[in-house]
Amino acid sequence: QLLMEPFGADIDLAEAVLKDYNAHLVRKASSMKGHYADADALEKLIQQGDPLHYEVFEKAVPQETGHLQFGLSKLQPGTVGEEFFMTKGHYHEIPEAAEVYLCLRGKGYMLMKTTEGECRAEYMERGRVVYVPPYWAHRSVNVGDEPLITFYVYPGDAGHNYGDIEEEGFPKRIYKRGDKVEIL
Ligand code: F6R
Ligand code: ZN
């Protein structure tokens, strides 16, 4: 078989920064159309300069069976209307591909749902690991006032399926009510 060269990578754990990443995904507010309950508030945010919403930093590996993709996801703090900033969320194209998240910084929830309508919210803060089992779509939500940064690992060939999420969203949304967090 074709052997890949092993490699190491450094994460500054205090800052939660992956050094020497070679793949970088950026999503701004304008990538989030259709995802928030208050579409007008999102439109306003886009008009006001379309701020950075979240980024993914990776040490790229082949997107093939046997490999493991890993990297950092960094979600900015903020709200659209009263709804906390979140990622789009996705199923994996190979739906039985699971994923592990380790929270390095910030506070938030991993929202997970199934095509059958099950929905769970798992709390995340520094040091907490969330296991996303096979078949669960997953979306990160930042309920804090600093970036929510997680380290993730998932099968190399898993792929992303944004499927029904843009039309149907998740059964639960997470709102900022004063200084309270409400999961509805
Ligand atoms: C990979 C994974 C994360 C997300 C990232 C961006 O399977 O779950 O790396 O890709 O948090 O979220 P999406 O892809 O939903 O925009
Ligand atoms: Zn995933």
Q: What is the ipTM metric for this complex? A: 0.96
CA angle at 54 for the pair 149 and 165, rounded to the nearest 5°: 105
| pLDDT of residue 87 exceeding 90 | yes
Q: Can you tell me which atom of ligand 1 is nearest the CA of 71?
A: 9
pTM over cut 0.95: yes
Domains belonging to the chain, first-starting first, are 27-183 (2.60.120.10)
Task: Evaluate whether 57 touches 24 at the Cβ level (below 8 Å).
Answer: yes
- Tell me: the pLDDT tens digits for 28-54? 999 999 999 999 999 999 999 999 999
Distance 89 CA to ligand 1 centre (A): 7
